[in-house]
Each structure stands twice: as C-alpha cells, then as structure tokens.
Structure 1
Amino acid sequence: MDIAFQTDKKRTYYALDFSKLPAGEIRSLRYNFICDDCRQPAFFRKAASSGQGPCFGAKHTDKCGVPARATGDPWDKPGDDLVQKLEADKTKIVLNLGKGTGAGADDDGFPKDGSGKGGRSHSSLGAGASRSKIQRNPEKLLRALVDAPSFRTSSLLIDGPNGEMPVHQFFVEMKNASRKLHRGGFHGFWGKVTRTNVWNGLRLFNGAPAPSLGFEISDPLVTQIVKRYNLSDISDVVGRYAIFLGYPRLTQNASFMMDVPDIGHFAMLPKRDET
C-alpha cells in the first residue's frame, strides 16, 4: 500500500515521500506505522532491486478496504486511453534509474523510486488541486512509447536528474537526436537499434551515418545486458526497441556520442512485446 499512519509523528505518510527522508530517520520510524483504514500494525518497505518501488506492508483485517483498492500496477496496459487518464489526473512521472545509479543512491537528493505496484502518491498544488506521482523505470516507459503514440507527444511531466520536463521533450526518437537541441541535456533516446560495432574497446550502437547519435557501452555493461535479456550475443539488440538514457556530447573529433553508465540507463523490449 502507498499510504500509512506513523504513530510517533502522528501523521500520514505516502511511501514515496517517506522514502526520501534521511536513512537514519527511516530506520527509526519504519516499523511504527498502522494501516490508515483498519489500524493494524504496518511497516515500510524500501525500493527493491527488482524494480518494485517503496511501499507499506500490513496484515489487514477482513473488512479493511485497502486490499480492495490495491488492484495492481496502474500501468499494466499502456495505451492512449491510459495517457488520457494520466493527463486528466495531472500525473507526474518519477523516473526510476534503479539501484547502483546516481538517482537510486541513498545519499542522493533525487527520489529513490521503483516501478512497483501501488506506486502512487499525491502532493498538493493548492486551490484544491492535486497531482499524482507515479514511479516508472525505463523499460515501462519504453513500452508506453512504443504502444501509445499519444504518450510520445504528451505534456505529462517527468521528474529526472535535471528536474521536471514534459514527456514530449524528455523522450527523443533516436533518429531525431539533435546536436543543437540535445547536447549536454539528460534525455531518453528510444527507437529500434540499427547497428552495432566495437571502437576503441567500447561497444557502440547506432551512430552512423553521421551525424547520428551513437551510444557507448563498456564490456562489463555488455555482459549485464546479455544476461538480463537472455541474449545469445549483444548483437541481438540490433532490430529491437531500446532506450538509452544519458547526456549526449561531442567528442574531440566532433562525433555525436553518449556514454551509457550502467544497466539502469538502458532498457529493451522482449521480442514478444514489440509491435
């Protein structure tokens, strides 16, 4: 569940907001919760390496309404209808880059979030309005980009390492990557991978013909990708939908390149999920 009452502080917390507190405060308060409905003891669960976001757990009474409301991931079936609902709810997407990344570190100011069930919280906008926040990792976002054309052009806000940005500006189709518009900014570049090769000890994706944006991946990350997606070889990425997140730059020889620092900044769709 995404909300619980803290008995020491005598206030209600959303799991996403509670996860941003200092680590020591979380440790001292995490077990002193009760369900906001049935008042049974509850506890806080931090974001998991599997991608499940921060949440609260409890053993609810039979009459408690919370389990009935926890109907699962609200992004199970991304599509244009879902985009309309998110826009009507003024939903803000919180980008989850996973453990081991700058965005997921305990000492980082950026939210430590995941893509788990019930990953919503609410923050006041004043004048009776509210904005829902939903946590999403790159793979979920890539699936939405592929399945929902209206998501690509949406003005929904996404909260990333450089702050908030409209979805239609944050995500860029690889073929539309621009040296003038995107160099130095943090973006998610998505689409079908067209080619791969090795240059100066790094695995490269796309980048040709010039001036196309190319993506640099180190050997350890290549190994992780092959293992995570059960590939026979890293070249299996070619022809698949993928997303690379990072900061494009110009190299000394004026090539348009982007370093992919870790597995949290890359995702691809299984073949069965491609359309």
Structure 2
Amino acid sequence: MQHARCTIDNKVWEAEHFSVLLEPNLENMRRNLVCAECGEFAWFRRASRHGRPPHFCAHHMDNCGLRVEYVAIGEQRDDATTQEEELNAGDSIIVHLDQEHGGQIDVNELQHPPTPGVGSGGRAFVVPGGERETAQQFTMRRILLRLVQSPMFRNSNRQLILYRKDEEVLVSGAVRDVVAGFMDITTERHSERQMLYWGPIASAGMTADGKLWLNSSDRHQGVSVAIFDDVVDEFLKMFGVNDLEDLTGAHILVAGTCYYARTGKPVIWCGSPRYIVVRRYRDARLQVGI
C-alpha cells in the first residue's frame, strides 16, 4: 500500500515521502496512521534488507476499496470457521506458560485446531478449588488467534487459567474479566493488575538501557510493552526476529502487569519471552520470508 493518512496532520502520505521524515517526528507519526479510505489501523514499514521499498499496510474493513488480503503466518485460511465452532463447547481453557516455545514468525507452520477428547487437543484436568471438568490445553498463540477473530470470544465467560509452572496460577477467571484489548485499558480496572493484554504494534525499538519497546498506536492509547533487557535476546531468538521492522503491524498477546507512566500512558512489563506471543502478517501475494 503506497498511501496512508496520518491523523496528526490529516494528510495522506506517500510511502517514500514518509520514509524520509526525521526522527522523532517519523516515530510519532507512524503511531497515528490509518487507512486513507476506511480509517482502520495502519502501519509503516521501512525499506527492507531484502530490497522491498518502504510501504504502508492496514487492517482494512471488509468493504474497503484499498483492501489487501493479509495472511497470518503459521495458520490455515479456514481456521476462523473452525475456531468459531469451538466457542460453543463451553470448556475451560488451560495454558501452561512453562511449555510455551515461541516459534519462527517467518515460517509457515500448519496448525490444526485440537478436537476435544482426542490426542493432545483435549485433556482432563482438575481445576483447583473446583469440580472435575473437561478443559482444553491451549497455547498463547491459539488464544491470540481467537481474540483477533472473534468479538464473541473476547466477551465470553469461558474460564481461562494460566499456570506459571506446575500448579502455580498466574491468571485465572472469565476471558472477559482477565483479558483486555489495548483500547479497553483503564486506570480503574487495570492499573497494577496482572492479566492478559493484547493489541496491534505500530513500531518497535530499543532504548539505551537495553529494553525492547513494542509500541501501539495512539488510537490504542499508545500502549507500550516493555521487554526486560535480560530477556530481549532470548525473545528475538525465540520468535526468529532479525529486524525489528518485522514486528510492525503484528498483534501481540502478553501476560504482564500494567503500570501508568508519568505521561499517563499504559505500560505493560514483560519479564519472560514465554509470557508473550506475536501474530505477524504478510501480503498474501508475497512469498514467505520476504
């Protein structure tokens, strides 16, 4: 996509002209981009080492005339239908964070949704303090997939339990109570609260103290996810990130605590690469790895 609108100056920018803006002006403006036609979240990618020129992308509305099909790397095209059907099962969701393995974000890995009661897709768990019930073993990646695809899931009463290790519970409760989109974060409900947070990333960068910052758009309250300096290298290796531009436009899901900076901006601290997952997109017309 060659053009996008910046809500700061309400100007429709051409990608090459946008790319020569000086920092920090470019950084500020790239957090305020929308599709020039439908107004949905857009992001900017600088020229790549593979020879791709600077360009814009967006999560367009279905009826947008500029709509381009984007493929979420590592998923099948028919996943959405299958996932929606599973929402009616009513099973609890179990996630063991010590079993999260990240994954190469630039590799197509076919992931078939588990069938309850078959193989590793459905297991019986005893939920502490509750009665024996059927629960599905999920990963952070599968939870993020559902959050992106399904408003029904975001607002559901399905019970979600995240184990830090063994039987040590990190997060527990109904999805709608323990998961928050960046746009929905409030001081009253989320300040200093440990839960799951998710949303899109407009830019990523390192600070002098070695932390990696994943920054959302101002439209999404300018939420930033801070990955501690002592786990940055592990995070980048875990997700196969060689260029921070690979993270722009991605959706992320992170288990962490939300704090408010002096500027009033929400900041979510992530202390382990196993507590975060990245869902990256590419143009369906392009080859994987470009």
Normalized against structure 1, the TM-score is what?
0.54
Taking structure 1 as reference, are residues 221 and 162 closer, same or farther at Cα in structure 2, changes over 3 Å only?
Answer: closer
User: Which residue does the alignment assign to 1:214?
Assistant: 224
User: Given the alignment, which residue of 172, 176, 180 partners 1:164?
Assistant: 172
Taking structure 1 as reference, are residues 207 and 192 closer, same or farther at Cα in structure 2, changes over 3 Å only?
Answer: closer
In structure 2, what is the Cα distance between the partners aligned to 1:144 and 1:204?
A: 25
In structure 1, what is the Cα distance between the partners aligned to 2:171 and 2:236?
A: 31
User: Given the alignment, which residue of 249, 260, 267 partners 1:250?
Assistant: 260
In structure 2, what is the Cα distance between the partners aligned to 1:163 and 1:187?
A: 6
> What are the Cα deviations for residues 107-154 of structure 1, in whole angstroms up to 9, with x where unaligned?
xxxxxxxxx824421559xxxx96311121211211122233322222
In structure 2, what is the Cα distance between the partners aligned to 1:140 and 1:80?
A: 14
**1:173 aligns to 2:184 (yes or no):** no
Taking structure 1 as reference, are residues 195 and 180 closer, same or farther at Cα in structure 2, changes over 3 Å only?
Answer: farther
User: Given the alignment, which residue of 257, 260, 263 partners 2:273?
Assistant: 263
In structure 1, what is the Cα distance between the partners aligned to 2:283 and 2:144?
A: 11
User: Which residue does the alignment assign to 1:188?
Assistant: 196
Taking structure 1 as reference, are residues 207 and 237 closer, same or farther at Cα in structure 2, changes over 3 Å only?
Answer: closer
Could you tell me how far 1:193 is from its partner in structure 2?
A: 0.5
**1:93 aligns to 2:93 (yes or no):** yes
In structure 2, what is the Cα distance between the partners aligned to 1:204 and 1:122?
A: 36
User: Which residue does the alignment assign to 2:120?
Assistant: 117
> What are the Cα deviations for residues 213-254 of structure 1, in whole angstroms up to 9, with x where unaligned?
321113343322322222222332111121121111234665
Could you tell me how far 1:168 is from its partner in structure 2?
A: 2.0
User: Which residue does the alignment assign to 2:155?
Assistant: 153
CA contact (8 A) 2:121 2:137 kept: no
CA contact (8 A) 1:242 1:269 kept: yes
**Structural mapping, 1:107-146, within 5 Å:** 117-121=120-124, 131-146=133-148
CA contact (8 A) 1:217 1:259 kept: yes
Could you tell me how far 1:268 is from its partner in structure 2?
A: 0.8
CA contact (8 A) 1:182 1:248 kept: yes
In structure 2, what is the Cα distance between the partners aligned to 1:217 and 1:151?
A: 27
**Larger RCO (alpha carbons 8 Å, 6+ apart):** 2
Taking structure 1 as reference, are residues 145 and 208 closer, same or farther at Cα in structure 2, changes over 3 Å only?
Answer: closer
Quick one: percent identity of the two aligned structures? 17
In structure 2, what is the Cα distance between the partners aligned to 1:173 and 1:199?
A: 25
In structure 2, what is the Cα distance between the partners aligned to 1:163 and 1:245?
A: 8
In structure 2, what is the Cα distance between the partners aligned to 1:270 and 1:174?
A: 17
User: Given the alignment, which residue of 217, 240, 264 partners 1:230?
Assistant: 240
Q: Secondary structure of 1:117's match?
A: helix
In structure 1, what is the Cα distance between the partners aligned to 2:171 and 2:207?
A: 33
In structure 1, what is the Cα distance between the partners aligned to 2:206 and 2:215?
A: 11
Q: Specify every segment of 5 or more residues in structure 2 that has no aligned partner in the other structure, as ranges.
A: 1-74, 101-118, 163-168, 285-290
Q: Specify every segment of 5 or more residues in structure 1 that has no aligned partner in the other structure, as ranges.
A: 1-74, 101-115
In structure 1, what is the Cα distance between the partners aligned to 2:244 and 2:122?
A: 32
In structure 2, what is the Cα distance between the partners aligned to 1:228 and 1:162?
A: 22
Q: Secondary structure of 2:176's match?
A: helix
Q: Secondary structure of 2:98's match?
A: coil
CA contact (8 A) 1:123 1:130 kept: yes
User: Which residue does the alignment assign to 2:213?
Assistant: 204
> What are the Cα deviations for residues 83-111 of structure 1, in whole angstroms up to 9, with x where unaligned?
454444x31111221259xxxxxxxxxxx
CA contact (8 A) 1:78 1:147 kept: no
Q: Secondary structure of 1:180's match?
A: helix
Letter in 2 for 1:242: I
> What are the Cα deviations for residues 194-213 of structure 1, in whole angstroms up to 9, with x where unaligned?
12233451221226649533
| Equivalent pairs, count | 181
User: Which residue does the alignment assign to 1:59?
Assistant: none
